């Protein structure tokens, strides 16, 4: 069967060598990224300047020959498009004007009004559709509602998502109204990304693991199911990757329950367990520990081969268990791919 290897794996095909890409593959570990970021002036300007955002998306494809490119953007562009204030503090990360009251949620824009702010992102995708090599798949993405809400409620990233849990437990109506607005906006955003050329979309729920069992079902699994169902209705045949990071045993059955074509696994999941309990429902993605991109050596080689073997009996997309870190060595990325493909 011919075609892009990522799309083949997501369709359930078992390939001798799995397709590979990395979360945050365009980023601060690459000197060419740093140069383009300096040219842009600041992070948000880079996200909203299509020529430069496309350039940093293409850089790891040119350097390493990944099987897929993932749009360069940020999950917090959606809150900004909904009307939340967003800025980045150098060395500290994102800041938002907190949305933690009923009045604050009511003041957000309707979900259908996000496109004016996000239109540069769609132009980036159109550029990439023209410029990517023909065998490289183009991935769009968004943050999942719970994870995006944790930043909007706290006004920043937090180690334990405590402000979001406090709102969820103390004012359930306001919390659910915020989640509803994010969910609807995420559908609009991802649908427009597909219209602009994304061949796959991924839903990042980076803080899903902090939800207890019933809250996980209500606020991680159920929004993912709704988003995927709506995207499938609008765009039949476009695959969706879901990443409920930290889900542990709840990874099992997640694809069945949500309709996801692939479930991405964090590095805390045993690959042999996941092959038995998660891969039985379709494609899995993952799950090399990103620390190997820093340390390299024989341990990296051994782990790549172990993961490839563990998932070799079913559809698999090779990736890290989370994003590559700024202190990673590009030579280790090359070693990972060379080992995987040898």
* List 29, 33, 37, 219, catalytic entry: 37
Number of C-alpha atoms within 13 angstroms, CB side, residue 139?
Answer: 30
* List 29, 33, 48, 151, catalytic entry: 151
Active site residue 28: yes
Residue-wise DSSP of 90-147? TTTEEEE----SHHHHHTSPPGGG-HHHHHHHHHHHHHHHHHS-TT-EEEEEEE-HHH
SS (H, E, C) 205-253: ECCHHHCCHHHHHHHHHHHHHHHHHHHHHHCCCCCEEEEECCCHHHHCC
Q: CA–CA separation, 200 vs 194, rounded Å? A: 8
Q: CA–CA separation, 193 vs 213, rounded Å? A: 32
* List 8, 33, 48, 74, catalytic entry: 74
Active site residue 151: yes
Q: Are 105 and 98 in contact (CB under 8 A)?
A: no
Supply angle C-alpha 217, 323, 115, rounded to 5.
70
Q: CA–CA separation, 22 vs 323, rounded Å? A: 7
Please count the residues of the chain: 342
Active site residue 33: no
* List 8, 24, 181, 245, catalytic entry: 24
Active site residue 251: no
Neighbours of 131 (CB within 10 A): 14
Surface-to-core class of residue 95, CB atoms within 10 Å of its CB (0-12 exposed, 13-18 middle, 19+ buried): middle
DSSP 265: -
* List 28, 126, 217, 225, catalytic entry: 28
Q: CA–CA separation, 139 vs 197, rounded Å? A: 9
* Beta bridge pairs of residue 69: 138
Active site residue 126: no
Q: Are 86 and 74 in contact (CB under 8 A)?
A: no
- Which residues are the active-site residues? 24, 28, 37, 74, 151
């Amino acid at each position: 069967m011919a075609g892009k290897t990522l799309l083949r794996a997501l369709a359930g095909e078992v390939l001798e060598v799995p397709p590979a890409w990395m979360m945050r593959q365009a980023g601060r570990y690459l000197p060419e990224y740093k140069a383009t970021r300096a040219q842009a002036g600041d992070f948000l300007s880079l996200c909203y300047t299509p020529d430069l955002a496309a350039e940093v998306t293409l850089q790891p494809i040119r350097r390493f020959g990944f099987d897929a490119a993932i749009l360069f953007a940020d999950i917090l562009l959606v809150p900004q498009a909904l009307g939340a204030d967003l800025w980045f503090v150098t060395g500290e990360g994102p800041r938002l004007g907190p949305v933690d009251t009923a009045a604050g949620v009511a003041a957000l824009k309707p979900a259908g009004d996000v496109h004016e702010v996000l239109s540069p992102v769609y132009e980036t995708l159109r550029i990439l559709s023209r410029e990517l090599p023909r065998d490289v798949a183009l991935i769009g993405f968004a943050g999942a509602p719970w994870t995006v809400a944790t930043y909007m409620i706290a006004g920043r990233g937090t180690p334990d998502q405590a402000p979001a849990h406090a709102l969820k437990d103390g004012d359930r109506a306001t919390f659910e109204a915020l989640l509803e607005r994010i969910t609807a906006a995420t559908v609009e955003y991802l649908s427009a990304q597909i219209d602009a050329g994304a061949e796959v979309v991924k839903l990042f729920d980076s803080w899903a693991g902090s939800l207890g069992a019933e809250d996980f079902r209500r606020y991680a699994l159920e929004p993912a199911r709704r988003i995927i169902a709506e995207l499938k209705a609008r765009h039949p045949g476009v695959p969706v990757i879901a990443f409920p990071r930290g889900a542990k045993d709840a990874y099992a059955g997640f694809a069945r329950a949500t309709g996801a074509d692939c479930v991405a696994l964090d590095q805390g999941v045993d690959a042999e367990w996941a092959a038995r309990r998660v891969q039985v429902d379709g494609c899995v993605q993952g799950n090399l520990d990103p620390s190997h991109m820093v340390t390299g050596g024989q341990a990296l080689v051994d782990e790549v081969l172990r993961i490839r073997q563990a998932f070799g009996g079913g559809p698999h997309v090779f990736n890290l268990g989370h994003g590559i870190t700024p202190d990673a060595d590009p030579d280790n990325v090359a070693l990972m791919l060379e080992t995987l493909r040898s």
